[in-house]
Amino acid sequence: MSQGSQFRLLRQRRFLPFFGAQAFGAFNDNVYKNVLVIVATYHATSYTRLEPELLTNIAAGLFILPYVLFSGIAGQLADRLDKALVMKVVKAAEIVIMTIAALGLAAHSVEVLLSALFLMGVHSTFFAPAKYGLLPEVLEESELVGGNALVEMGTFLAILLGTLAAGLLAEQGGTGMIATALIGVAAVGFATSLAIPALRPAAPDLRVDWRPWTSAWDNIRAARESRAVFLSILGISWFWFYGALVLAQLPLFSKDVLGGSEQIVTQLLVVFSAGIGIGSLLCERLSGRKVEIGLVPFGSIGLTAFAVDLYFAVPDAPPGVALTAAQFVAVPGSWRVLLDLGLIGVFGGFFIVPLYALVQQRSRREVMSRVIGANNILNAVFMVAAAILAAGALQAGLSIVELFLLTALLNALVAGYIYSLVPEFLLRFLAWLLVHFIYRMKTRGTENIPAHGPALLICNHVGFADALVISAGCPRPVRFIMEASIFRIPLLSLIFRGMKAIPVAPQKEDPEVYERAFQIVASELRDGQLVCIFPEGRLTPDGEIGEFRAGMMRILKETPVPVVPMALTGLWDSMFSRKYGAVWKRWPRRFWPRIGLVVGAPIPPERADLQSLRKAVVELRGAAR
C-alpha cells in the first residue's frame, strides 16, 4: 500500500471513528431491512394478510418517507450544530429504535416492525447531512475522492455483511438472537461515535426552521446556488431511483424468476454490494486523486449496458424447486446473471463517488449540510417515484425482467439529458478516455494550479487535442482561448463549444471576434475562473515553441492575475499534431504512447513579460517535444 493510499485515512482519528460509526449504522440498517424483506417474502402469512409484493414496496416507501419529511430540518441542524455531536445523538437513538424492532419481532406485529423501520429512516435522515457534510471539513481536497470512496465502500461492505447476517438470522436464528444482534450492533456503533473529534459548527447563528416544508425549501435553495452542484444532486438522485427500482425487486426476482430460496436473495445482494464497493475503491486510482467527473458518463454507460444484458441473461428456472445458492450457480447462465449484477454495482460506484465529491468540493462550507439535506430530499422523492413506478408496472402486467429492461432504457435517456444540460461531464469523459486509453499521461506540478480563485494558464500549442489533455490533467474546470479557425473545425467544434472555449481571431481579420474574446476572458477571471491561452497563437509547425504574441499581456493589464506556466510533452509525434501533414497520414505511430503535462510555479502579474514567460514554458518542456 503506497504512502498516499486512501486507506491511510483508516489509521487517523479524524476519519476512523466516523467511518466505523457510519459503517455499523449501515450494517444494522441492512440486517433489519433484509430480515424484514425476507420475512415479508417467505413468511408473510404469520405476520400479516398483505400480499408480499405490496408489503415489500410499503416497507421501501416507509423507510424513505422521513427523507422527504425531515431532511430540511436535518440539514439545518447539521449546519447549526457540531456535526460530531449530531452523529452521537443519532447513534444513541438507534439503540432505542432497535429495541422497538425487537419487541415487534417478539410480538409478530407487522405494525410495530414497520414503525421501527420508519424510525430507522428518521435515524438515517438526520445522520446523512452530518455524515457527508463532515468529509470536506476533515479531508483535504485531494482526499475527497478517496474519502468518499472509502465511505461508499464501507457502506456497501456493511450492506454486504448485513445482508449475509440477515440471511443467516432469518433462516437459522430465533427472535431472541435477531433482537440481541440488532441492539448489540447499535450499541457498538454508538460507542464508536463517541471517539469522533468535535468540530466547529459551520453556521452557528443559523435559525433552525422546524417546519418540514419551509426548511426543505431552504435546503433546496442552498443547493441551487451552484448549477453544477444541483445537477449533480439530480444525478445522484437518479442513481438512487435506479438502485431502488432494481434492489426492491431482487427478493421476488430470486423467488419467482430464478426459482430460488432465501439464499439466492442474499447471494444477489452480496454480489451487487461487492460490485459497488469495488467500483468505489477504483475511483481514486482511475481519477488520479482528483474529482474526476469524467467517470460519471462511464458509469452511466455500464448501468445501461449490464441492465440490458441482465434482461437477456435470465436462465430458465427448474419447475417446483427452491434452489439453494450452490444449486443456482450450477444452473447454466447463472454466472451471467451474477456478473451483470456485480458490474452494475461496479459502474454504479464509478457514477456515484465523483458526484458526491463534486457536491462537497463546490458547495460553501456554511451551507454544506443543507446541500446534503437537499440531496436527501430529492433522493427520497426519486426513490418514492421508483417504488410507485415499480408497483404500477408490475400491476400493469410487466414482468420483473421487463422492469429491469425499462430501467436500463430510462437510464440511457436520463443520462443523455443530463449530459446535454452539463456538457462538462461528457467532455471530461472524452478527456479521461484520451489520457487513459489513447495515451499514458503523467502530470507533474499540478499542485501549482490554484485550488481557488482566478489564474491565467499558459502552455505550448502542439496539437488539436491540447485542450482535452490539459482538461484531463487540471483539477479545476478551464476556459480555453482558442484560434477561431481551429474552433470551427467540424466535429471538434462540438467539443470546443461544449467546453465553452473562447474563439479569438486576428484583429485585422475579425475585430469584433477579437474584442469579444478579451471581454469574455476578463469576465471569467473576475468571476474567479481559470483561463488558458496558447500564447504562440497557432499550432507549432515544427515541434518547437514559437514566439509569444502580445495579446496575453493585454489580458494581464486589464485583469491582473497570477500566470501559471505549463508545458505539454510527447504530443508532437501524435496524430493530433501537424508533424505528418495530411489527415490521412496521421495514423498512430505507437501503441499507448506516453505524454506529459508539467506545471510550474505561479508568476505574479507584475513580474510577467513575454520573454520571461516563454522562457518558463521552454524550461518546463525541456528537450522533449
Query: What's the per-residue H, E or C state across 392-419?
Result: HHHHCCCCHHHHHHHHHHHHHHHHHHHH
* Cβ–Cβ < 8 Å for 353, 283: yes
Q: Which of 286, 281, 293 lies closest to 236 in space, CA to CA?
A: 293
* 597, 446 Cβ separation under 8 angstroms: yes
Same domain, 46 and 187: yes
Over residues 336-347, mean pLDDT: 92
Q: Give CA–CA dist 345/250, Å, rounded.
A: 14
Report yes or no: 250 and 307 within 8 Å, Cβ to Cβ.
no
Residue 431: inside a domain = no
Average pLDDT over residues 78-98: 93
Nearest Cα to 483, choosing from 578, 574, 562, 608? 578
The CA-atom distances, in angstroms, between 196 and each of 17, 152, 199, 279, 530 are: 5, 19, 9, 27, 37
CATH code for the domain in which residue 570 is found: 3.40.1130.10
**Same structural domain, 389 and 450:** no
pLDDT higher than threshold 50 for residue 258: yes
pLDDT at 221 over 80: yes
Model pLDDT for residues 182-220, shown as the tens digit of each residue: 999 999 999 999 999 988 888 888 888 888 888 888 889
Position 518, amino acid: F
pLDDT digits (tens, 9 = 90+) for 291-314: 777 788 888 999 999 999 998 988
Element (H, E) at 273: helix 262-287
Whether residues 400 and 479 share a domain: the answer is no
Q: What per-residue confidence (pLDDT) applies to 91? A: 94
Q: 350 and 455, same structural domain?
A: no
- Could you give the CA distance from residue 181 to residue 166 in angstroms, rounded to a whole number? 10
pLDDT of residue 391: 81
Q: What is the predicted pLDDT for the residue at 561?
A: 92
Question: Please, how many CA atoms are within 13 Å of residue 382, restricted to the half-sphere of its CB?
Answer: 20
How many domains are there within the chain? Answer: 2
The verdict on residue 432 lying in a domain is no
From the number of C-beta atoms within 10 Å of its C-beta (0-12, 13-18, 19+), residue 547 rates as exposed
Assess if residue 1 is contained within a domain: no
Domain span holding position 226: 12-421
Q: What is the pLDDT of residues 587-608, one digit of tens each?
A: 555 566 788 899 999 999 888 8
- Please state the rounded mean pLDDT for residues 339-362: 89
How far is 534 from 464, CA to CA, in rounded Å? 12
Q: Is the pLDDT at 479 greater than 60, yes or no?
A: yes
Mean pLDDT over the full length of the chain? 83
Percent of the chain whose pLDDT exceeds 90: 20
* Model pLDDT, residue 87: 92
Task: Tell me how far apart the alpha carbons of residues 527 and 104 are, in angstroms, rounded to a whole number.
Answer: 57
Same domain, yes or no: 384 and 454: no
Q: Is the pLDDT of residue 1 over 50?
A: no
Q: pLDDT band at 427, cuts 50/70/90?
A: confident
Q: At what angle do helices 227-247 and 334-362 cross, to 10 degrees?
A: 160
* Same domain, yes or no: 490 and 392: no
In a domain, 323, yes or no: yes
CB–CB of 240/379 below 8 Å? yes
Shared domain for 75 and 114, answered yes or no, is yes
∠ at Cα 310 (307, 313), nearest 5°? 160
467 and 577 co-located in one domain: yes
Residues 380 and 447 in one domain: no
578, part of any domain: yes
SS3 230: helix
* Whether residue 68 has pLDDT greater than 70: yes
Q: Is residue 80 assigned to a domain?
A: yes
Is the pLDDT confidence value at 2 over 50? Answer: no
Give the lowest-confidence range in 2-6, 147-151, 238-242.
2-6
Structural domain contains residue 30: yes
| pLDDT for position 153 | 84
Q: Of 421, 450, 481, which marks where a domain is finished?
A: 421
Which residue, 135, 174, 141, is CA-closest to 155? 135
Report yes or no on whether pTM surpasses 0.85. Answer: no
Residue type, 542: D
The closest of 256, 267, 400 to 330, measured between CA atoms, is 267
- Kindly give the pairing relationship between strand 478-483 and strand 563-569: unpaired
Q: Are residues 210 and 77 in the same domain?
A: yes
- Is the domain of 408 the same as that of 459? no
User: Where residue 52 sits, what CATH number does that domain have?
Assistant: 1.20.1250.20
Question: Of 40-44, 165-169, 363-367, 419-423, which range is least confident?
Answer: 40-44
Find the helix or strand (DSSP H, E) in which 533 lies: strand 530-533
How do residues 226-235 score in pLDDT, each as one tens digit? 888 888 899 8
Q: What is the pLDDT of residue 303?
A: 93
Kind and range of the H or E run holding 504: strand 502-504
The last residue of one of the domains, among 394, 421, 448, is 421
What secondary structure letter does DSSP report for 542?
S
Q: How many CB atoms lie within 10 A of CB 490?
A: 6
* β-bridge partners, 564: 457
The answer to whether the Cα torsion of 425, 428, 430, 436 is positive or negative is negative
For residue 29, give the nearest of 153, 120, 128, 110 by alpha carbon: 120
* Secondary structure letter of residue 555 according to DSSP: H
With vertex at residue 527, the alpha carbon angle to CA 607 and CA 80, rounded to the nearest 5 degrees, is 120
Together in a domain, 401 and 504: no
